[in-house]
Amino acid sequence: MRRFLQSLEFFVENERIKLAIFKALASSQKLSGLPPQTVFQPLLKDNLVGKGFVLTFITDFFKEYFIDNSLDDLIYILKRGKMEDNLLDFFLSGKRFAEAFSEHFTKAGMALLVEYNDKRIFEVKVKEMKSAIASQISEEVDISEVIETVKQHVKDAILPEIEVVRIFEMF
Rounded to 10 degrees, the C-alpha dihedral 80/82/85/87 comes to: -100
**Surface-to-core class of residue 165, CB atoms within 10 Å of its CB (0-12 exposed, 13-18 middle, 19+ buried):** exposed
> Are 93 and 54 within 8 A, CB to CB?
no
Domain assignment present for 96: yes
The whole-chain average pLDDT of the chain stands at: 83
Instruction: Give per-residue pLDDT as tens, 118-127.
Output: 999 888 888 8
Instruction: Give per-residue pLDDT as tens, 102-138.
Output: 999 999 999 999 999 999 988 888 888 888 888 988 8
DSSP 8-state assignment for residue 90: G
Domain identity same for 26 and 57? yes
Range of the domain at 98: 2-109
> Are 26 and 11 within 8 A, CB to CB?
no
Instruction: Quote the number of domains for the chain.
Output: 2
Domain assignment present for 117: no
Domain identity same for 61 and 141? no
